[in-house]
Amino acid sequence: MNGSTNSSGRLQWKWVVVGVVVGAVIAGASFLIVLPTFHSTPIQALVLLAGFIATGAIVGYMSPGVTIKEASIAGGLVALVVVAFLSATGAALGQDLLRNLLLLVLGFGLSWIGAWVGEKLQGSEGHSEEETKRLFTDVQAKWVIVGVILGFALNVLGVFLVTPLFRLSLNVAFGVFLVSLTVTGFIVAYKSPGVTLKEPAIAGFLAVLLDWSFLEFMLELHVSGGYLAFGLILGFCLNLFGAWLGEKYQMSLEAQEAESVAASS
């Protein structure tokens, strides 16, 4: 990991506070943007949950050492504030006790997942020679998981937060969806060790499948098999393209660093 490690295992309250502030901004802004346009409770809940993932990822990535528990506590506290706000304002999302309890649990859990993703993106762990060889050949399940979580969060936040600014234009929504897939592939490939082209591509496929599951089973919006197949192919190809860009960028930075070391020696 970059920076110092939290070897003592003590809670870093600074990052709990930072996480609460970041989470409150993300959750508050997301909900206020979505509320006037999307009156569907599942959509409002989905945006909030994606915000918890983003909160954990930001804290995990920006903080030195391992701060997964700090991000989790922050997510739980933000969820508590959100539930209190929704209940006080009479919003439909906050009027069901079971739903509120579930939101609290998911706020903690999804922030933990986001923090794990942030820690993985923060820096590369050390690898033995044998492990380094496998980085270039085997599928790294860890980076597939990171790509799925990151891609799903970017898809949701991108589509549901950007399209209201453009009067729900389907062209804009589709464009944001395509960009989020490409950005996911770029980030995963750039931040991961070794050559990770297939991992983001697989993650893009699975992230689109996760998007479809939400539309089909939570919003009850049926998507035909043809459109689903097209989306899965797009998810695979655009994440692969983004990963290729990420690898090229990573290689260019490594080449610049090598030149600078050679020039200084």
Label residue 126 by pLDDT band (50, 70, 90).
very low
DSSP per-residue codes, 67-119 = -HHHHHHHHHHHHHHHHHHHHHHT-GGGS-HHHHHHHHHHHHHHHHHHHHHHH
Average pLDDT, the chain: 83
- The pTM for the full model equals 0.76
Average pLDDT over residues 232-248: 94
Q: What is the pLDDT of residues 71-84, one digit of tens each?
A: 999 999 999 988 88
pLDDT band for position 242 (cuts 50, 70, 90): very high
Q: pLDDT tens-digit profile of 15-24? A: 999 999 999 9
Mean of the pLDDT values across residues 136-163? 84
Given this model, what pLDDT does residue 221 score?
A: 74
Res 188: pLDDT? 93
Query: How many Cα atoms occupy the beta-carbon half-sphere of 138 within 13 Å?
Result: 9
Q: Over 60: is that where the pLDDT of 125 sits?
A: no
* More confident: 125 or 47: 47
pLDDT-derived band at 205 (thresholds 50, 70, 90) equals: very high
Torsional sign, CA 149, 111, 121, 173: positive
